[in-house]
Structure 1
Amino acid sequence: MEEMTCPVTGCMIWSPIIKNEKFSRYLSDFRELNLLGKGAFGCAYKCQHKIDQNFYAIKMVPIGGLNKMSFETVIKEVHAMCKLEHSNVVRYYTSWVEPPTFGISEESSSQQPDVPHLYIQMELCERSIEDLLREDGKLDKKTYWKIVMGIMQGLEYLHGKGFIHGDLLPCNVFLLHNGEAKLGDFGLAKSFDAEHEMKDLKAAKDITVEMLRAIDPNLKNDLNKTVKKIF
């Protein structure tokens, strides 16, 4: 193990070394398949675990290149996710710190080479509501209600655990192949309070109204009335 100082926190962190060469848990345990998306703090990749053969999303964040506020936002996401386990919340598995990997894809090769990176292993959700609306343009009534109920059940669980999401947008509500909705991206999550609870609910309502645009025009009026009753 090699001891190194995190340039942001000043804390000592450990990087494993085998035979004087840096060992990468990411390269050792996973096959990187493709880029899922880029965000303000890093990139997320679809990966397959070499032993259990399951697919995961792994977010790679260059923590040494973040200012203090951004670093705290990333760590806050990890702290929130590790406390949550619900069918309508993206599942967290583990996280670790190591130097960046190179040569796996064009995007990962462009990561900052001289700073430690935080790797966050999560449940794989390849689409968001934003993707659904942009790519499909159409939404049937059954799928609509499944997504709406998933959002509400996820929020109910989240608020019951003492958290506010704080950044509920179509791009942060993810979908499985069966249409099940999952809340993700908890970088702005905060402790529960009544004011921010209302902001979460308003954001959820805005998403459901936005989805109405992709519904059959003949169903919009009835659905809109029901949505108003829910919220």
Structure 2
Amino acid sequence: MENDTDEELTKLFEQYINNYRESGWCIEQQYLQIIRVLGNGASGTTYEGKYREAKVAVKAYSAKILKEDFVSVRNEMELLARLSHPNIIKFYGICFMKNPFAACLVTELAPHGELGKALYPKSGINLFSRLGQDIKFKIAIGVARGLQYLHKNKVIHRDVKPANVLLDEQNEPKLTDFGFSRLVDYSGRMTGETGSYKYMAPEVMRHQKYSESADIYSFAVVINEMFCEEPPYRYLLPVQAAIAVAKKGARPSTKKIKNDILKGMIERCWSEDPAERPDWETVIDSLQQAEVYQKKPTSVFEMFRKK
């Protein structure tokens, strides 16, 4: 039965394999070394690997996953192949393995892992306790630049959340997981409930037409969470949070943020009306202003201490 599935998938992927070979994105199995398991998710297993001399992450989609969600897997592979930006995870290629069949997405390795795990590590001491506020602004600006690049290329991520932001050795953020991402159609609008409830824009929850501004909303929730170091709607189930946002206009608390420029930027980004959300140039400029403001001494004592 499994061999039948493998043969079926090989035929299904055959034209794509040929296309990837022609475009230079196909990695031969002999050049890819698997080192260890990094994690298991609903869509497959991710490994640390080595491709030639580069350390890589290898996301392996099993035959079962490929059969159930072929379009999403193919979409992620094809999108990554056409994207290139310092804040988008670097794409090396695709490796098709046999016995058993698996399609492997090969990308750069981000050794510091997910932003979510940096915020809430099992050890109890998070990244920001050690490195301070500066690193938060670096991550926020990097994520904004990555999303700005996507939108300039008519791509909506549609699932912006801490788990989909990876950190490299210098804690430079890398957007990842493009399974839900889509090219914007000619109207610039999309419909359908896609993403993670606690980070999802209200218009998406309500199945209304939406655009790139839905990513700006999700970005605001992520950035607020990072600066507050507290999950959004922590006492609500995801569905309860979605109802509160869509029907009652609920938003995460910003009480822990004392930087007025930062707080104002976040609140504009998650405006109920998508048209009132700022563009990425304004967001990045506001973050840079907020970073400068953060570094200013707040008392006479601090002024002398800095001298």
Secondary structure of the residue that 1:13 maps to in structure 2? helix
Residue 220 of structure 1, CA deviation: 2.0
Could you list the runs of 5+ residues in structure 2 that have no partner in the other structure?
Answer: 18-26, 190-209, 231-253, 269-282, 287-307
Aligned pairs for 1:211-222 (under 5 A) are 211-214=226-229, 220-222=257-259
Q: How far, CA to CA, are the matches of 1:5 and 1:45 in structure 2?
A: 21
Higher helix share: 2
Q: Separation in 2 of the partners of 1:220 and 1:148?
A: 14
Specify the alignment match of 2:164 in structure 1. Answer: 172
One-letter amino acid matched to 2:79: A
SS at match of 2:211: helix
RMSD: 2.9
- 1:206 aligned residue (212, 221, 239): 221
Give the count of matched residue pairs. Answer: 201
Gaps of 5+ in 1: 16-23, 101-112
Query: Residue in 2 aligned with 1:228?
Result: 267
Whole-Å Cα distance in 1 between the matches of residues 38 and 158 of structure 2? 23
Q: CA deviation at 1:199?
A: 1.3
In structure 2, the partner of 1:7 is: 8
Distance change in 2, residues 1:45/1:205 (3 Å): same
**Separation in 1, partners of 2:178, 2:143:** 14
Identity %: 23
d(CA) in 2 for partners of 1:179, 1:12: 36
Deviations 1:58-108 (A, max 9, x none): 11111x3136561110000001000000000001111032215xxxxxxxx
CA gap 1:68/1:47 in 2 versus in 1, 3 angstroms: closer
User: AA paired with 1:73?
Assistant: S
- TM-score, length-scaled by structure 1: 0.76
Normalising by structure 2, report the TM-score.
0.59
Distance 1:79 1:133 in 2: 31
C-alpha displacement of 1:117: 0.8
The structure with the largest strand share of the pair is: 1
Name 1:131's counterpart in structure 2.
117
Distance 1:48 1:85 in 2: 21
Deviations 1:113-158 (A, max 9, x none): 4xx2101111111311111101243522110100110111000000
Task: Indicate the residue corresponding to 1:38 in structure 2.
Answer: 40
2:302 counterpart residue number: none
Are the counterparts in 2 of residues 163 and 190 from structure 1 also a CA contact under 8 Å?
yes
Whether the 8 Å CA contact 1:88–1:180 is kept in 2: the answer is: yes
Choose between structure 1 and 2 for higher RCO, CA contacts under 8 A separated by at least 6 residues. Answer: 1
Question: Aligned equivalents of 1:61 and 1:122: distance in 2?
Answer: 14
- Residue aligning to 2:96: 97
Moved over 6 A (4+): none
Q: Any idea what the Cα deviations from partners look like across 1:150-172, whole Å, max 9, x if unmatched?
A: 11100000011111101111000
The answer to whether structure 1 residue 78 and structure 2 residue 77 are counterparts is: yes
Amino acid at match of 1:42: G
Instruction: Give the match for residue 107 of structure 2.
Output: 122
Q: Which amino acid aligns with 2:145?
A: Q
- Check the 8 A contact 1:88/1:181 in 2, yes or no: yes
Contact 1:57-1:124 within 8 A present in 2 as well: yes
Matching residue within 46, 49, 56 for 1:47: 49
